[in-house]
Chains A and B, each alone.
Chain A
Amino acid sequence: RKEVEQDPGPFNVPEGATVAFNCTYSNSASQSFFWYRQDCRKEPKLLMSVYSSGNEDGRFTAQLNRASQYISLLIRDSKLSDSATYLCVVSGGGFKTIFGAGTRLFVKA
C-alpha cells in the first residue's frame, strides 16, 4: 500500500462545478497534513493546511478524518484558474514528509 494515495484523475469539470479530491494515508502516526497546488512546469505551493476540525478558505474546504486516515479537499464554484495538480501531503513528524502522486484538475469554460 502506498504511504499516501490520491484519486488518479484527471478531473475534467465545467466552470462553476464543485469538485472533491480524496487522499488516504497509511501511517496512523502522521501528524500534519497539507494540500499543495502545482501548476504545469512550476513548483508546488501550499494551498492550505488541514486541521482535525476541518478548515475553510474561501471556495476551498479541507477535511481530515484520523480514524479513517482520510483527507479531502473540496473546491466550490470552480474557476478556470483552478486548473492545476493538487498534491496531498502528509508529515509523520520529524522531517519525513510524503507527497501523493497528485490529481490533475482541468476546469473548462
Chain B
Amino acid sequence: ETGVTQTPRHLVMGMTNKKSLKCEQHLGHNAMYWYKQSAKKPLELMFVYSLEERVENNSVPSRFSPECPNSSHLFLHLHTLQPEDSALYLCASSQGQGRTEAFFGQGTRLTVV
C-alpha cells in the first residue's frame, strides 16, 4: 500500500465550483509536491513544499491554490477551473531534495464540466 494517500480519487466539478484535493503522507518525508498529468503529456510539476514552505511554483494559474498546514498534509484548492484543467492530479513526497525517490499517491482524476 502506498504511503501517500489522496482524496478524492475522482472528482467532477463545474466551472463555478470550489473544491479541494487532499494529500496525506505517512512516510515522515519533509517535501511534498503537486503534479498534473494530462492525456499524452508529461507530468508537470505544479508546486513544491519543503518543511511546509513553498519552494517552487511553476507558473501555475491562480485558480489553483496550494496549502501545506504541516509536513504530512498538502491541499490543492480549486476554484473557477476550466475544462482544460481536467487531468490526473498527483501528490508526491520525498525526503530531502530531488536526489531521492519520490513516492506518489494514486491521484485524483478531475473532470471539469
Interface residues in chain A, defined as those with a beta carbon under 8 Å from any beta carbon in chain B:
4, 31-32, 34, 42-46, 49, 87, 91-102
Contacts and interface: CB of A to CB of B under 8 A. Distances in A.
Interface in B1-56: 2, 31, 33, 35, 40-43, 45, 48, 50, 55-56
B98 to A, nearest CB: 3
Contacts of A101: 40-42
A94 B55 CA distance: 9
Given A43-B2, A43-B104, A99-B42, A92 B98 contact: yes
A92 B45 CA distance: 13
B106 A91 contact: no
Contacts of B97: 91, 93-95
A34 B105 contact: no
Given A95-B31, A99-B42, A44 B98 contact: no
Interface residues of B, number: 24
30 contacts: A4-B42, A32-B98, A32-B99, A34-B101, A42-B106, A43-B90, A43-B104, A43-B105, A43-B106, A43-B107, A44-B43, A44-B90, A45-B104, A46-B101, A91-B97, A93-B97, A94-B97, A94-B98, A95-B48, A95-B97, A95-B98, A96-B98, A97-B33, A97-B45, A98-B42, A98-B45, A100-B42, A101-B41, A101-B42, A102-B42
